[in-house]
Each structure stands twice: as C-alpha cells, then as structure tokens.
Amino acid sequence: MLIHVVQSGDTLWALADHYSVTIQQIVAANGLSVLDTLVIGQALVIPTSDHYHAVEEGESIWQIAKRYGTTPEALVQANQLTNVDLIQIGAKLILPSEDRPSKEVNAYLTNLGRAGQSMIEQVGNDLTYLSPFSYEVKNDGSLKGLNDLQVLTIARSTKVAPLMSITNVDTHGFNSEIAHVILNNLSVQAILINNLLSTLAAKGYRGLNVDFEYVPSEDRERYNYFLQQLVNHLRPQGYLVSSAIAPKLSSKQRGLLYEAHDYLIHGQLLDFVVLMTYEWGWAGGPPMAIAPLNMVKRVLDYAVTVIPRNKIMIGIALYARDWTLPYVKGGPNARTFSPQYAIQLAARYHTSIQYDQLSQSPFFRYTDENGLKHEVWFEDARSMQAKFNLVKDYNLRGISYWVLPALFSQVWLVQETSFDVIRL
C-alpha cells in the first residue's frame, strides 16, 4: 500500500495507469464510486505489490517514506544511500519489507442492527475485540440490557472476542450521580457485580470494559476499590477486565472528566486500558482536529510513565465534524458524520483539502447554498498512518476504534499494512 495525495489533473484512470493497478482496486480500497469526483488534497490508498518506488521530481526521502508508511532511515539502509540529497529522478528505490508487529484491535459498536452486523461481517478479520455499546448501569445495580445476540453470534463466527461494555449513562448522557451511588453503596455494588457475572456467562462475553465518565473527584478511591472488586470476582472466572479512561496530561489534571481516573491504579489492576484520545475537536467547541497527533503524543508521554506500555490501547476516532462559522460558544453543535461523507462534501462544494502538519489531520472550508461558511475536520489515510506509527513507536498494546459502523474503507488497508491483528 502507498498513500497518494490527489493533485490537479489526477483521474482514477491516470492513477491506475501510473501505479499499474486497476481502477476497481482503487475504488474498492477507498470506498469510492467510479463516478466520484476526486478532490485536490484528498488522500487515496493505492493497493500495490510493487517493491520499488521510482523517484519523481522534487521528492525527498522523507516524503517517499511517508507515502509508504516507512521511515527515512529504513529507506536509506535498504538502498545503501550515502547522500540522500543526490537521488536522481527516475531512480528506483527498494521499499524496505518490515516485519509487522502484532497488536490488539478493539472497536466499539453503537448500531446493533443490520448496519452494524454487516460491518462486523466485513471487518471482523481486522479486530481482536468487539465492544457493543453499552449496558447502562442503574442506581439499584441492575443493567439496561442490549439486543446484542445477533451481533455476538456474528462476532464469534468471525473469531472476534466480545467485550461487555458498561457505562453510567442515562437518557441524558453520562450521569455523575449514577457513578456516585454505585461506588459508594457496597450492597448495590455487590448486586451489580452479580448481574455482570450472570450476563457475561449468559451472553458468552470474553471480558468487561468499564466506561465510567464524569465520576465525581471525591469518588476517585471508591472507583479504584470498585475496579479491584471487579478484578477479584471476574478474573478467577477467566474474564478480562479493562477500562476506558480520559486523555490526561498529568496526574494533577483538573476537571470532572479527569480527576477520578487514576492512571496508576488502572494500570496496576486491569488487563488493559483504552485511552480516549479524541474529542479535542468536540461538537460543542470551536473547530479543530478531533484527535490531533501532538495532543495524543502528550497524553502518551504521561501515560507510559505510570501504565505498562503493553496495557495501553489508544482510542482512534472514525468520524468527521462540520462547524458553522463563525463559531459562537453555546451555539448549535457541529454536525458529525463519516470521513467518506466529508470527502463527498468537499467535492460538492468544489473546495480543496488541506493537511495540518502539527495535528496530522486533514481539513477544508466551504460556503453553503445559504452563504454560511463551514470548517470540516476529519480523518484520512495519512492521519491514520500517523497514529498507527505512534502505536509502533511507543510499543503499545494496540488500538481501539470509536465508533463502528463507519464509512471509512481505507482505514482497514492502512491497518493491515501496519499491524498483524492478534486473535484470541
């Protein structure tokens, strides 16, 4: 696989001819139609078995390495280059064949209907775990269940291990009071743990993922105690226990989202954690990258000091956001949709896609039929490759997608090029 950024004059026919692949291969890898208009700045993955790259005018070793998801050092070594500034145009560079590391991959699934079932049938081979979202915990220790039997059947048929996801969510979203009651009432906590054990066994789940958010800061130690009780009761039965935790930059970070999430204790007690490294560009905030690489790195720089690297999975967003400009605090939320729809939107309004180097994220601006200006941030093959490289650079356990189903075909080829997926 290589990543091609569309330039003026590019067509599917020309690209297929240039890279010696078929139009249908490009279309399938990127979720396109043969009738789709290519957008200047759009990233396309090109499936190729070629082990060489012919140097083009103006290309640097760094640019070539980035296209193929490798490093300049690996290219230099594979080609025994002594001066990277004197590469001749047309020279054929050997592309290094790197051993892919084996990583675990989780995906949260919110649509348990036919769309979600079809997605698991398509991408099950690219997943270690599937986390249907979510069983909602109630104040009395009972659970609001899920109609998940069909999804679980498909997951098992594709050899994906299902994880039971529990949240402190009600009809209005994450509820701090629900978490407070559960964590401070041991009799309710015992009822909840019994209900979890019953559901895990009845549904055939492989483990538990706890996603308690906006937990009151005064309940930090109670949350740690609850996790210890889960481990004490579930691990002897062979279940994995994991959590989803907010993206903290330090142990002293303030805010309701962060303070009760004790990275050190989660890392000591649990089998693994999912760092929710996304939502900097949230729907109610100003336009910006949803998961900027520079911020993800800052979270990791702290996390690896207190959590074993082999227990860390980074969260990866599979969606786009569209903000109406000018941004007004308290105004309408940004629209959320798939990365492929973002490309269609750029094509419809005849705009070009830009790429922010600091955040390693694509974006574009357009003006709609009513004269309103918009700014769209999304993910593409380049931003995915950058995040997958982080997983390898930091030697982490793996990745966790939020959220399936997602119209984002190219992510799977980029993943398959980067990792071998661990299957349980």
Averaged pLDDT for residues 212-239: 98
Averaged pLDDT for residues 201-216: 98
Contact 168, 243 (CB under 8 A): no
Distance CA 207, CA 100 (A): 27
Averaged pLDDT for residues 226-242: 98
- What pLDDT score does 59 carry? 86
Distance set, CA 318 to CA 112, 166, 311, 384 (Å): 17, 21, 22, 9
Q: What domains lie within the chain, and their CATH numbers?
A: 2-94 (3.10.350.10), 102-326+375-421 (3.20.20.80)
Q: Which residues have C-beta within 8 Å of that of residue 334, sequence separation ≥ 6?
A: 281, 283, 284, 287, 321, 322, 323, 324
Please report, rounded to a whole number, the percentage of residues in the chain having pLDDT higher than 70.
99
Give whichever of 20-24, 263-267, 401-405 has the largest mean pLDDT.
263-267
Distance set, CA 387 to CA 28, 73, 137, 380, 424 (Å): 23, 19, 32, 11, 24
- What pLDDT score does 57 carry? 84
281-309 tens-digit pLDDT: 999 999 999 999 999 999 999 999 999 99
Residue 92 pLDDT greater than 80, yes or no: no
- What pLDDT score does 50 carry? 64
Residue 97 pLDDT greater than 70, yes or no: no
Averaged pLDDT for residues 162-190: 97
- Average pLDDT of the chain is 95
- What pLDDT score does 95 carry? 78
- What pLDDT score does 102 carry? 96
Quickly count: other Cβ atoms within 10 Å of residue 366's Cβ.
17
Closest CA to 146 of 137, 157, 159, 155: 137
- What pLDDT score does 222 carry? 98
98-121 tens-digit pLDDT: 678 999 999 999 999 999 999 999
Distance CA 309, CA 295 (A): 18
Quickly count: other Cβ atoms within 10 Å of residue 54's Cβ.
12
Quickly count: other Cβ atoms within 10 Å of residue 23's Cβ.
15
| Residue that has been written with the tokens 């957008």 in this structure | 39
- What pLDDT score does 75 carry? 85
Catalytic residues: 213
Residue 156 pLDDT greater than 80, yes or no: yes
Residue 180 pLDDT greater than 80, yes or no: yes
Please report, rounded to a whole number, the percentage of residues in the chain having pLDDT higher than 90.
84
30-88 tens-digit pLDDT: 999 888 899 999 999 999 876 777 888 888 888 888 877 778 888 888 887 878 777 88
| Residue that has been written with the tokens 């790197």 in this structure | 98
Averaged pLDDT for residues 129-150: 97
- What pLDDT score does 98 carry? 66
Quickly count: other Cβ atoms within 10 Å of residue 267's Cβ.
21
Higher pLDDT, 100 or 189: 189
Quickly count: other Cβ atoms within 10 Å of residue 197's Cβ.
16
CA angle 366, 288, 293 (to 5 degrees): 125
